[in-house]
Amino acid sequence: MFPKVLEFSLSDFFSSLFGVKQVSIYSYATLIALGTLVAAIYTKRQAKKDLGISNISNTFFYGIFIAGFVGGKLFYYLQDPILFIEDPSLMSDNFSGGFVFYGSFVMIMPYVVWYLKKHQIPVFPMLDIFAITTTIVHAIGRLGCFAAGCCFGSPTDSGFGIIFPTTHNTAVHPTQLYEVVLLVSIMLLLLFIKKHQQFKGQVFLVYLMLYAFGRGILELFRGDERGFIIDNLLSHSQFIALCLISISAYFYYKFHNQNNINTTNI
């Protein structure tokens, strides 16, 4: 794999100044940053095109990045808190990697809704845009996981198997790439739904249900260490996926019925 994009040594002057001899630029962090940039550009363009909004500050996207980083790391540590309590040095060892997507999502959503309401930006139309935005940044981020050699799957004898540095010469499912395919497929479907949208928030709710369902299935192929609600039966991600599907399906049914009533009354 390619965990590092670039690595170089500092001169003696800068080495003594910063106390660092070797500088490494990691693939995962680079691709996350790239995905965030692409997502920000897409969001701004679509907000202006669909809603006539052109005053979204870059500070908003900085806030999303920070919330996503904090939430992703926090949930990562909470998957096995005893491990990190017993050896806090592991936190710094995993600082550039080790994120939980749902942790980022849970932290980002309240911030996004708060910001939109504060600046009087329509919430559900923007969430529809963010649904597509999220698939972009998430897919690029999963390529970062593949490059870093994390978030891999369980051992397999199939032709899809790939050997990562940490799998000890054992071929495993490249679940990172499976998820990239899932996310791109969801994005294309959301773009289609957007053209035939029936109510505000529809694209966002469909995204939540599709991703949660797909992620729940992908968890069956995961082989890396992660937390379980029920040992080897229901992972944290699968539990969150079930909650998301239930909540999203309820609101989809509610908003869809409201739209039908409003259409009938016209």
Binding-site residues, please?
A: 142
With contact defined as beta carbons under 8 Å apart, do 156 and 171 qualify? yes
Two tokens, residue 228: 């379980």
Can you tell me whether residue 154 is helix, strand or coil? coil
CA angle 197, 132, 183 (to 5 degrees): 115
- Alpha carbons within 13 angstroms on the beta-carbon side of residue 33 total 9
Q: Check residue 56 and report its DSSP letter.
A: -
- CB within 8 Å of 80: residues ≥ 6 apart: 225, 227
164-190: burial string, b at 16+ Cβ within 10 Å, e else: beebeeebbbbbbbbbbebbeebbeeb
With contact defined as beta carbons under 8 Å apart, do 238 and 245 qualify? no
- CB within 8 Å of 107: residues ≥ 6 apart: 67, 68, 70, 71, 72, 74
User: Rounded to an integer, what distance in angstroms lies between the CA atom of residue 45 and that of residue 41?
Assistant: 6
CA angle 121, 123, 125 (to 5 degrees): 95
Among 222, 130, 217, residue whose Cα is nearest residue 176? 222
User: Rounded to an integer, what distance in angstroms lies between the CA atom of residue 195 and that of residue 190?
Assistant: 9
CB atoms within 10 A of CB 161: 15
